[in-house]
Amino acid sequence: MIQVNGLIKDYGARRALNNISFDANQGEIVGFLGPNGAGKTTAMRILTGYMPPTDGTITVAGYDVVDESLEVRKRVGYLPETVPLYNEMTAFEYLKFMGELRHIPNSEERALETLESVNLESRSHSYIGTFSKGMRQRIGLAQALLHRPEVLILDEPTIGLDPSQVVEIREVIREIGKDRTVLFSTHILSEAQQICDRVLIINKGKIVAEDTPENLQSRLVGAQRVVLRVRGESDDLAAKVKKIKGVKAVETKADGSIEFEFSAGQDARPQVAKTVVQGGYELLEMRSVGMSLEEIFLELTRESASGKKSS
């Protein structure tokens, strides 16, 4: 559905996107993850036909974004970062206007249906200027969904929403993602982890990692960390744990807790538990602290930053 090949975008002398390639299939939710200024918005603006790329071939829904821009735009729903709304229009008027621009037959009916799908039907005749941030985000999303596009591109759709609204929007995205292609950007990692089938981590105009959230985690972590706490002395326990197969990097912390790692695929936890029980220790806590996507993200973006410095 989305195919990006060697995408480059220059703003004057500054290279905003440096040779980006990726694709997204139908029924896939792809998360675009990266710090602010990484190039997420630029990439999305190119995909939606807002601006042309400096170089590279990009096809969306089977059409080239430069040569067949209008065809692409017909098939894409786009929610920009600053939600583009006319404050002086009512929610219904706004969607009706967009429906007419998109040549939707009986645009009034469709406007009402779409308002219902984002739970705004009770406010359909209120002026958008009176809407809260969450409602603005939802009416913006309604605008992107209105023509039932094959590809949905959402730029930070959950930014500035309260937690319950975030959950709501995520639910909507997941629902749409079942049969259509969704590309959405975020800098909240847990969000990408929750909804995406695949994550693209982008930093300084380059894709630094691309995989499913689970794979990304296991691939980059390679090992899992566990914290173990028992009542009383734990030094001798640490020594015993060290002997268990697969366990490495055993550390005794100042508060008496033991931290150890084991390689992926060699879960040492059952053996450790047995050792604790057989040794007569009073177990207080055993939990895994596996590297979060957050840490991976920091690591990756740091890597690419230091890589740039040395080159």
CB of 45 to another protein, least distance (A): 8
Which single residue is written with the structure tokens 């970062």? 81
Tokens 């909240």 sit on residue: 188
Nearer to another protein, 154 or 250 (CB): 154
Q: Nearest approach, Cβ of 135 to another protein (angstroms)?
A: 17
Q: Cβ 238 to another protein, closest distance in Å? A: 58
Distances (CA, A) of 155 to 31, 105, 117, 136, 242: 10, 28, 20, 14, 48
Q: Which residue lies nearer to another protein by CB, 144 or 200?
A: 144
Which residue type sits at 201?
I
Strand order in the sheet with 2-11: 14-24, 2-11, 55-60, 63-64
Q: Which CB atom, from 78 or from 260, has the smaller least distance to another protein? A: 78
- For the bound state, the minimum distance from the C-beta of residue 113 to another protein, rounded and expressed in Å, comes to 19
92 within 8 A of 125, measured Cβ to Cβ: yes
- Bridge partners (DSSP) listed for residue 24: 2
Of residues 80 and 177, the one with the C-beta less far from another protein: 80
Output the six-digit token pair for 138.
């939802």
Nearer to another protein, 58 or 226 (CB): 58
Q: How far apart are CA 77 and CA 36, in angstroms?
A: 23
- In whole angstroms, the minimum distance from the beta carbon of 51 to another protein comes to 5
φ, ψ of residue 53 to 5 degrees: the values are -75, 160
In angstroms, what is the minimal distance from the CB of 228 to another protein?
A: 53
| Angle formed at CA 32 by CA 29 and CA 36, multiple of 5 degrees | 155
- Using alpha carbons, select from 130, 141, 176, 134 the residue that is nearest to residue 159: 134
The CA distance from 296 to 96, in Å, is: 44
Pick 143 or 181: Cβ nearer another protein: 143
Q: Which residues contact 149 (CB under 8 A, 6 or more apart)?
A: 75, 76, 77, 180
Distance CA 274, CA 286 (A): 12
Of 159 and 291, CB closest to another protein: 159
Q: Report, in Å, the least distance between residue 34 CB and another protein.
A: 20
CB-nearer residue toward another protein: 6 or 52: 52
Q: How far is the CB of 200 from another protein (least distance, A)?
A: 21
Residues lying near another protein in the complex (CB under 8 A): 11, 45, 48-52, 70-71, 73-74, 76, 78, 80, 82-88, 97-98, 100-103, 143
Q: Which tokens belong to 233? A: 């002395």
72: which 2 tokens? 């692409």
Question: Smallest gap, in angstroms, from Cβ of residue 299 to another protein?
Answer: 34
Quick one: 25 or 86, whose CB is closer to another protein? 86
